[in-house]
Chain A
């Protein structure tokens, strides 16, 4: 498969560009998405110039109307991609997402499917403070009917966004601004897509499994290198989609390593890792050599000062420490 090196930002842009070119049902709407702004982080740059301002629509700062309008268009034959600029703003649109997008297929007995994609971005790590930094994906995992996607690499960003746009169900697609500049190979084949519900082993190993997604993948890979020097062989499983959740792949890995660390930037308490740890415990109780370790953000609003923010979020260091704890468990 031919690939081109590009950033996450460019991979996302390419997915949107190709979808707009391939299917007239695709529209993009959100705050500042059209040129010349091209999106607050440049993800939608050039799209309105190429596909028209009637298909790439700047909106007022009206999150409920952005998502509500996207839902209405979706139930009437369109494939809208709505952007909520920063994930913390999604609360304003939450009724539309949780009570409408998620439930319309079910409540109508299948008569009004809602193939909307809601792109949003986590701005954590940039010192923006508590209302511009949260990783809220667990909120959406808790609502039956939604699919929740959190890509890490450029290839995953491209392939998963393409799948989300054309998926028949509502998708909450969570991007991470601090990783927009991360580079990697992306297949050049137009329409390249990655199926949902397929976790990806980003690093193979035998001693301990780190289950993570999104920004956590980068930290986990760094942590794995750190502990490799200590003779610990880490497997990093990138979930890529939280709903659907590739639990079979997770369990396969943990059954092999017998130790698991779950890590994410979402709040540790009642975070996605709680579901993962519980299920690993249920399925592999007799197999595990150590309790499942959970790494996540501290239970506090995200502070602005970089020193404080660093103390709240996980890091390669805290993941490495968790790896060491689980490997050392029971060895006194």
Chain B
């Protein structure tokens, strides 16, 4: 964990980051437990292990800043402030879901807090983020657009087309690469001949930084610099956050492709207990405060889940609603 006190966030920010990480971890674990026990069914791409990146997003973006994320977006959605009932409701196919159950786990959208897109297509969110930033510029707003994607996305044409365009037009975009070491089931080293994804920014004359994505203080430092650069007209930044996903591509993934020692080492470096220890060592939060945050997260998730499970499934007429603004004259 970083010891550079020159850029140390305030204690309030440090606390908020722990709250976000704890809530993500708690929610992720509760979802996996519920699926595993048959309590409910859904598809889930767990972000467990990537909590520190969410912590940075939560404290570096304004409410009106835009966020684009992916199917592995639970942590990002929580970070941006999407209500838990909307996230869980969407995952479980209930009326209370962010999109009334029509989007599902992969596609949670909540413009109220700036989440304009969650995409199930690897790399596709980056061009859309460029457009969100273009809209902000045309509208005279200083809002910033952040876009999250994985290591695999940086091998897509969409990423490169969009990075070039964001740089050419010097748009207020922060490209957050959550390098969790695996593109679905293939190790990053087998899919690109570079060590540092951040170096891909060089091709677009864009600042590119690589940061320990398991260290929320370091993530905060780099994300806040990138957000400030974007907001002040300095154009886009690529921030590569190096991390790991503990549960494979999807929940239920046997993970035969991950060497056991690699997984064990990653779990040993779990960002959540690591940050918890750091907070106590630096006397930011004491044990009572930390335990209180953890108990609060359990309550929040349990309460949200109870609300969601009491919410009915969507009505069948939803199938024909929102296909178009008006259904007149369109095929059924």
Contacts and interface: CB of A to CB of B under 8 A. Distances in A.
**Same assembly:** yes
A90 to B, nearest CB: 14
Nearest to A75: B116
Contact of B134 (A62, A73, A92): A73
A319 B146 CA distance: 54
A139 interface: no
Nearest to A197: B329
Contact of A69 (B103, B120, B127, B329): B127
A68 B162 CA distance: 8
A65 B325 contact: no
Interface residues of B, number: 52
B117 A75 contact: yes
A218 to B, nearest CB: 25
A107 B158 contact: no
A246 interface: yes
B122 to A, nearest CB: 10
Contacts of A112: 109, 111, 116-117
B124 interface: yes
Contacts of A80: 131
A57 B93 CA distance: 41
Among B107, B130, B136, the one with the most A-chain Cβ atoms within 10 Å of its Cβ is B130
Interface size class of A (residues with CB under 8 A): 35 or more
B129 interface: yes
Interface stretch (A33-41, A94-102, A121-129): A94-102
B121 A99 contact: yes
A74 B131 contact: yes
Contact of B128 (A69, A106, A169): A69
Contacts of A107: 99, 102-104, 107, 109
A68 B325 contact: no
Among A73, A74, A99, A100, the one with the most B-chain Cβ atoms within 10 Å of its Cβ is A73
Contacts of A72: 68, 116-117, 127-135, 145
5 contacts: A71-B127, A73-B134, A99-B124, A104-B109, A197-B329
Interface of A: 24-25, 27, 54-55, 57, 59-60, 62-65, 67-78, 80, 92, 95-96, 99-100, 104-113, 144-145, 147, 167-169, 196-197, 243-246
Interface of B: 66, 68, 97-104, 107, 109-111, 116-117, 119-121, 124, 126-136, 138-139, 145, 157-158, 161-162, 164-165, 168-169, 318, 321-325, 328-331
